[in-house]
C-alpha cells in the first residue's frame, strides 16, 4: 500500500516553485449538501506525520491531523452550493469550489497540485493534475483531510435542522436510510435536484 510523499512537490520545487498548494474536493457523490474544496500549502520542513487519503483515516485521526495542519500549514476552504451544483453540474461545481479555495490562499501559491485528471479552467496559476493524488502527494492528502472534516461537520449541523436522513453518519451520501427518508420525508432545500434519486422523487407520477 503506497502512502503519499513529497516527491511531486520536490520535483516542482526543483523547477523553482516555492509555494506549492495541494487541492482536493469532497462531496461529489452525495445527494445533499454542498461540494467542499480545500487548498493546503505545507511547510516542507515541518510536515505532520501520517498524512494520507482522508478515506483511509478514522474520524479521530483526521481531526488530529487537521489540528496539526492548522498549526503548521496554510489552509483555505471553499464551497460550491447545491444551487450551483444544480445549475452547472457536479464536476463544474467542484472545480468552482477548488478555484475559490485557491483564491482564498494569501499570499497566493505559485504552483498547484490538483487531485484528479482535470485542471479547473478558472485557475491561472501553473498546475498539475494528479490522478489519485491523495494517495501520492502529501499536499493533496492534507487538502482531502481538511475538506472532508469540514464537509462532515457541515452535514452534522444540517442533520440537526433536518433529522431523519442520517446526514450525521452518511454525510448526504445515498445510504439506504437516506434514500428511504427521501421517499418518506421528501426533499429538503439541501438536496441536489439534478441528482437522479432526488429528481425522480420530485417528479414521480
Alpha-carbon distance 145 to 86, whole Å?
25
- Contact yes or no for 26/36 (Cβ under 8 A): yes
- Cis upstream peptide for 107 (omega within 30°): yes
Rounded-to-integer distance, Cα 24 and Cα 179, Å: 27
Whole-prediction pTM: 0.96
Distance CA 165, CA 55 (A): 22
Q: Across all residues in the chain, what is the average pLDDT?
A: 96
Give the Cα separation of 85 and 35 in Å (integer).
Answer: 8
Burial 81-94 (b: 16+ CB within 10 A, else e): ebebbbeeebebbb
- CB atoms under 10 Å from CB of 132, counted, come to 14
Q: How far apart are CA 151 and CA 172, in angstroms?
A: 10
Reported confidence tier of residue 2, pLDDT bands at 50, 70, 90? confident
Contact present, 95 and 120 (Cβ < 8 Å): yes
Angle between helix 138-161 and 59-72 (nearest 10): 120
Domains of the chain: 7-161 (3.30.420.10)
Q: What is the pLDDT of residues 78-101, one digit of tens each?
A: 999 999 999 999 999 999 999 999
205 pLDDT above the threshold of 70: no
Amino acid at each position: 500500500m503506497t502512502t503519499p510523499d513529497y516527491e511531486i512537490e520536490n520535483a516542482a520545487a526543483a523547477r523553482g516553485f516555492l509555494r506549492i498548494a495541494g487541492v482536493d474536493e469532497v462531496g461529489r457523490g452525495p445527494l445533499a449538501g454542498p461540494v467542499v474544496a480545500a487548498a493546503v500549502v505545507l511547510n516542507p520542513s515541518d510536515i505532520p506525520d501520517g498524512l494520507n487519503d482522508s478515506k483511509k483515516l478514522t474520524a479521530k485521526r483526521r481531526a488530529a491531523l487537521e489540528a496539526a495542519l492548522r498549526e503548521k500549514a496554510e489552509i483555505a476552504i471553499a464551497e460550491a452550493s447545491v444551487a450551483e451544483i444544480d445549475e452547472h453540474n457536479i464536476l463544474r461545481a467542484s472545480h468552482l469550489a477548488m478555484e475559490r479555495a485557491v483564491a482564498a490562499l494569501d499570499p497566493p501559491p505559485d504552483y498547484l497540485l490538483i487531485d484528479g485528471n482535470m485542471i479547473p479552467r478558472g485557475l491561472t496559476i501553473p498546475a498539475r493534475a494528479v490522478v489519485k493524488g491523495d494517495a501520492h502527494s502529501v499536499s493533496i492528502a492534507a487538502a482531502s483531510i481538511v475538506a472532508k472534516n469540514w464537509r462532515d461537520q457541515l452535514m452534522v449541523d444540517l442533520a440537526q435542522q433536518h433529522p431523519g436522513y442520517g446526514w450525521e453518519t452518511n454525510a448526504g451520501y445515498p445510504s439506504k436510510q437516506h434514500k428511504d427518508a427521501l421517499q418518506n420525508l421528501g426533499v429538503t432545500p439541501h438536496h441536489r435536484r439534478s441528482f437522479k434519486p432526488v429528481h425522480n422523487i420530485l417528479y414521480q407520477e
